[in-house]
Amino acid sequence: MNICVVGTGYVGLVTGAVFADLGNDVVCVDNDPRKVADLTAGRMPIYEPGLEEMVARNTADQRLAFTTDLTGAVRRSVIVFITVGTPSKPDGETDLSAVEDVARGIAQAMERYTVVVNKSTVPVGTGEFVREVIERHQARPIAFDVVSNPEFLRDGSAIEDTLRPDRIVIGAPTQQVAMTLVELYAPLERPMIITDVPSAEMIKYASNAFLSTKISFINAIANVCELAGADVSQVMKGMGLDARIGAAFLSAGLGYGGSCFPKDTDSLVHTASALGYEFALLRAVVEINRERAAHFVDLVAKALDPLEGRAVAVLGLAFKPNTDDMREAKSVEVIERLLELGASVRTYDPVAMPSARRMLPAEVVYCESPYEAATGADAVALVTEWNEFKFLNLERLRAAMRRPVVFDGRNVWEPERMRRLGFEYHSIGRKPVLPIQP
């Protein structure tokens, strides 16, 4: 099929590359000429395992191209995917201005029947909104249909998630239109669910909001464990083995971040309110998540009191491992608060430091390794659970530090092992441990 993907952000670039790899002719459109030039030259705007190689392969085979020409791309395509950004406004409402701009451009370019697919994460009712925009801006009436096909990609495993998704959701006005998407996705041989458009839009928001709820719930339980002297890791295991609950997204830590969970949860709260329902449960989920970074820094401040003049090594900057995505990263909140309280910060991340430099205060020092970051530090604070950190030489880390105190925001290490290695160790939802005295 000839496919147009509008938007070369995280979702659009991965979607376009995978569809091309499945044998389709794909043109990805972006309104940033420099970004298009970089992509044409093989320079990736994001870090995602396997993406650079997939883009290079399909560009060389002429199945994948990049352009700023929306009109030409629409006219050559039978399916047009909208994958532009949908950020949150200050009140949590989703900003659909980019979606509206693209819909207007599609309307003005369209010359024959086209299937327009919303793949951006959008609130319920957006499919009808896009339809109205296109109808209003067509030079002459041309038949088209609007479909909802939400993405469920995770940073760090987006290609795998696209090739082997748990399910493919297709929200279409008719069965015949749905079959166009079924044909496109058929090579993946994955479960498909066909719904009406509003239900497909709700599936995405409901899924992300539920996962956010699991994360905030276990973090609230971690707070109780800290007060009661219980171990949240054991509580999580006992809960997760219940098939009705499951272990996924049941890890206590610094809370959720990234481009999806915060935005989508806020948006669902706003949408529900606009429809007349006050979603108290989700409001609590958002509030619990908002407190996590401050709670973590409070642990640091109490243990190092006074914090002023202390050197803290922060390990991990990206919002999660295997990505350079700094959107809603907890590291930003943690570092800014540490600096406000008078600490100095040295940091290391395997991938995200170039992105972090654009977001963090100028006084942050960036290091070439975790050991360099820890040199002379009064404490190490682990914020992102990269595999590299799980397998650190902890004896070397301790030897580099001025004071062997570790704050583990992701519960990566075992408390008893840290105690034996000579650390004062603080984690989430577990009792702190002191080193074995000689």
Which are the catalytic amino acids?
260
Nearest to 166 by CA among 124, 211, 197, 131: 211
Torsion of CA 227, 229, 235, 236, to 10 degrees: 60
Q: How many CA atoms lie within 13 A of 383 on its CB side?
A: 36
Tokens of 39: 């992509």
Tell me phi and psi for residue 380, to 5 degrees.
Answer: -115, 130
Q: For 161, phi and psi rounded to 5 degrees?
A: -65, -30
Q: Residue 53, Cβ neighbours under 10 Å: how many? A: 12
DSSP category for residue 325: -
Q: Which of 306, 375, 371 is nearest to 342 (CA)?
A: 306
**Residue 64 DSSP SS3:** strand
- H or E element that contains 214: helix 197-228
Measured between alpha carbons, how far is 325 from 313 in angstroms, rounded to an integer? 20
DSSP 216-278: HHHHHHHHHHHHHT--HHHHHHHHHTSTTT-STT---SS---TTTHHHHHHHHHHHHHHTT--
Q: What angle do CA 330, 50, 192 make, to 5 degrees?
A: 85
Q: What ranges in 46-171 are assigned the alpha helix state H?
A: 51-60, 70-75, 97-109, 126-137, 158-163
Residue with tokens 């896009």: 130
Residue 92 CA, chain-centre distance (Å), reads 17
Q: How far apart are CA 14 and CA 264, in angstroms?
A: 20
Closest CA to 325 of 411, 409, 413, 261: 261
If one counts every other C-beta atom within 10 angstroms of the C-beta of residue 193, the result is 12
